[in-house]
Amino acid sequence: MLHAMMSHCFTLRVYYEDTDLAGIVYYANYLKFIERARTEWVRELGVDQRAMKEGAGLVFAVRRVEADYLAPALHDDVLMVESSVSSARRAQITLRQEVRRGDELLFSALVSIVCLDAQGRPRRMPEALAPMVAAGRG
C-alpha cells in the first residue's frame, strides 16, 4: 500500500481551450494539469481539502516550482501526469511531476508543497499523508 501512495497517475485530454492559435498547449496550462493531478492524488488518499480548511484552518500552497518544457502537447492529445514523492518533511512535500503523451516526456517539474495555517505558518501535513512524509525522508 505504501508504494501505491508514493506515486500517482492522472489522465487528461487536451481541449481547444488549453491551446494557443497553433493548437499547442499554452505553457501555463501545464501548471494547471499538474495541479489537477496533485489534487486528485490527495483526494484519493482521503484528504478533503475543503474540510481541512474549514475544520483545522489548514491549506496547501505551492512554495516552489522548477519546470522543464521538453516538447509540445497538441489539441486532442491524451496526456498522463505521473506524480511521485521526491522528498518530504513534516510540513513540506516535494513532488516530481511528469507529463507524457504515450512514452514521450513533454514536461517535467519539481514542485514543493507546504501545509500552512490561517496565519501562513508551516504546519504538519495531514495524518493521511504521514506515510508519504515518513517514506520521503531520505
Tell me the torsion sign for CA atoms 22, 26, 27, 32. negative
Contact between 8 and 78 (Cβ < 8 Å): no
Say which of 20, 48, 68, 117 is annotated catalytic: 20
20 has catalytic annotation: yes
Cα–Cα distance measured from residue 97 to residue 82, given in angstroms and rounded to the nearest whole number: 6
Q: Can you give the C-alpha Rg of the chain in angstroms? A: 16
Catalytic residues: 20
